[in-house]
Chain A
Amino acid sequence: MDERLLLIEDDASIREIVSIGLKAAGFRVVTAVDGQQGLASARSGGFDAVILDVMLPSLDGFEVCREIRKFSRIPVVMLTARTDLIDVVVGLESGADDYVKKPFELPELTARLRAVLRRAASPAAGEDSLIAVGRLQIDPACFTVRRDGAELTLTATEFRLLVELAKRPGQVFTRELLLQRVWDYEYLGESHLVDVAIQRLRAKVEDDPSRPVLIKTVRGVGYRLDRTGA
């Protein structure tokens, strides 16, 4: 285990102690002190995941994440200083795979990182056969989704979420079940992770994301994939 991580954090103390902790946990860490520098490093490539502070000088974390998503589906974990729900939601909407609230203990951060890395390494564990749902062709082995033959760019989290739903079309998945299966979360209460990821997935696979026909909301319960849709 020597994944390379890019840590983008402006506060020197946090940057240093998190680097030490992550290195002690077996990662290789490259640091950047602001958004511009971080984005440049991310562009140069060679990283397995990005740890991204929200409050950054020059270019804030949301912007950096949106820029990264334009060229890469590398897992991104946000460090949100504010506990406001809106920050979490904006972070996830800008394409982050997960978030950790400041202050955090290092074991919590490493656990989250390992979870996103696992997802990225094997986006749909144990699934090799092609899945066809409506106009979608999902190839878990090659980590690709085609819609009417055109390839869609999905992040690891979105891909895993889609595969999870598509494996059992028609079945209703609760948010808790999806958190467990897709995010490897044992605890409850982070259901906006699921809701935001579903929104992002719909934006990519639905004709009209505000009136979804493929990924349906089951009010008060969760979501299901409708095989007749798409």
Chain B
Amino acid sequence: MRRRLVVAFVLVAAVSAGVLAVASYLLVQQARLQGSLSASSAQAREDLNLAATITYPLASDFVNAYEQRGTHAVLVFPGGLRVPSDTEVNPPIPAELVDVVHQGQLGYQRVHVAGQPYLILGGKVPQSAAQLYLFFSEQDIQHALDQLRNTLVGGWLSVLLVAALIGNALARRTLGPVARASEAARLIADGRLDTRLPAGDGDEFGAWAAAFNEMADALEAKIAALSAAQARELRFTANVAHELRTPLTALVAAASLLSEQARHLPDEARRPVELVTADVGRLRVLVDELMEISRLDAGSEPVQHSAADVHSIVTALIGARGWQDKVVVDDQPLTLITDPRRIERILANLLENAIEHSGHDVRVRIAALGTHASIAVADGGPGIPPEQLPLIFERFYKADSARASAGSGLGLAIALENARLLGGDISVSSDVRSGSVFRLTLPMEPSGDVSKR
């Protein structure tokens, strides 16, 4: 942008200064040549009259006298006899000029003789058949014009240089605020929301900077409000979960006592006790998961890395939960440096989810893909409609509202947060005929910043 501005500025200066210079040169040149012609013509008329008094034998002396003044002269007599003032140079006379002179007029033509500019004036000598051609040197004029030309070219070049300098300075002055504004915009995009433009002068850029700063103020205030709201929400979730925990502790303890006594209770009391116990259990899971997800949100969950074999984690998990006849695992050992407790947590959620949907026929495939491990949990369940796929990792989202009693609705969200905590991710693909596949990808080794968390 700056270069284009400078080039345009220089171009305008070059054309206008160039036109001016060329026009001046042409005007001066024409004036000088015209002046030289009229002076020479007057001289020639005088000389022709003078030549009329000369007779042939003295012709040589006559022309030689011109040579003294630096002017070549040639007398041409009828029959083609030429008497040049300088026999060595004996300059040729252009045929067109000769024709004009033959018609009895005073003619002129500009030629170069031996590289020097000359104005030839020719005419008939009165009362004679002879013709006199005078070669007036225009060396001085040419010299002066050359000097003028050099001066004009030099001046033109200086104008170009000055134009370039001024153009550059102007462009810098004009574009400086633009450059500062784009730098400021970049900083704001990088999260430096306190970036502001210096308040300019009262010009358009000053107004622009003020508008930019107003926008940045609004943006900063908005984002501060948003993050405060988000922090409030996170704290609220953590507080809710925490406050629920105390009454829940009493509930869990009471329910455990009640369920021990359930068999001694009359039928109409036993069923309510069973329901209370079951619901206390659900509430406990929900509060635990709320606590976990609020810790994950707060970034306060510790990660403890160690070498872990995914296959052993999965088989141990299946054994502990009694899922042996529901889940098949590829016999594929794969050792990662990761947090085994979290992998177990993620896979427990994915397997629980899969078993819940298909009941059995759950398959776990373990594979190494370069720097990442892929652990796929496939079920033969009814699948997830495509429009629900993007939503299933949302908190409290339940694909099937009829099945709302199973799970807290946080399981997949917690699995995903845990996967991200380990530097991995979970993706899902589903087909209403063949079921769903949840694929956990994890780095084989933690990258620098993940291990720091």
Q: Which residues of A contact B (CB under 8 A)?
A: 11, 13-14, 17-18, 20-21, 24, 81-85, 102-107, 109
Contact = CB atoms under 8 A, between A and B. Distances in A.
B139 interface: no
Given A81-B249, A103-B287, 17 more contacts: A11-B249, A13-B247, A14-B250, A17-B250, A17-B253, A17-B257, A21-B253, A21-B256, A81-B242, A102-B248, A103-B249, A103-B253, A105-B256, A106-B256, A106-B257, A106-B260, A109-B253
A102 B251 CA distance: 11
Given A83-B291, A103-B245, A103-B248, A14 B302 contact: no
B251 A103 contact: yes
Contacts, number: 54
A82 B295 CA distance: 11
Contacts of B116: none
Contacts of B252: 103-105
A107 B259 CA distance: 11
Interface of B: 242, 245-257, 260, 284, 287, 291, 295, 300, 302
Nearest 6 pairs of A and B residues by beta carbon:
A13-B250, A105-B256, A103-B252, A103-B249, A102-B249, A17-B253
Chain B facing A: main interface SS: helix
Contacts of B246: 11, 14, 81, 102
User: For A103, A106, A109, which residue has the most chain B Cβ atoms within 10 angstroms?
Assistant: A103
Contacts of B284: 103
A106 B280 CA distance: 14
Contacts of A21: 253, 256-257
Nearest to A21: B257
B254 A17 contact: yes
B375 to A, nearest CB: 21
B302 to A, nearest CB: 7
Nearest to A85: B302
User: For A84, A85, A106, which residue has the most chain B Cβ atoms within 10 angstroms?
Assistant: A106
Contacts of A84: 295, 300
Nearest to B291: A83
A107 B295 CA distance: 28
10 contacts: A11-B250, A14-B246, A17-B250, A81-B249, A102-B246, A103-B249, A103-B252, A103-B253, A103-B284, A104-B249
A14 B253 contact: yes
B249 to A, nearest CB: 4
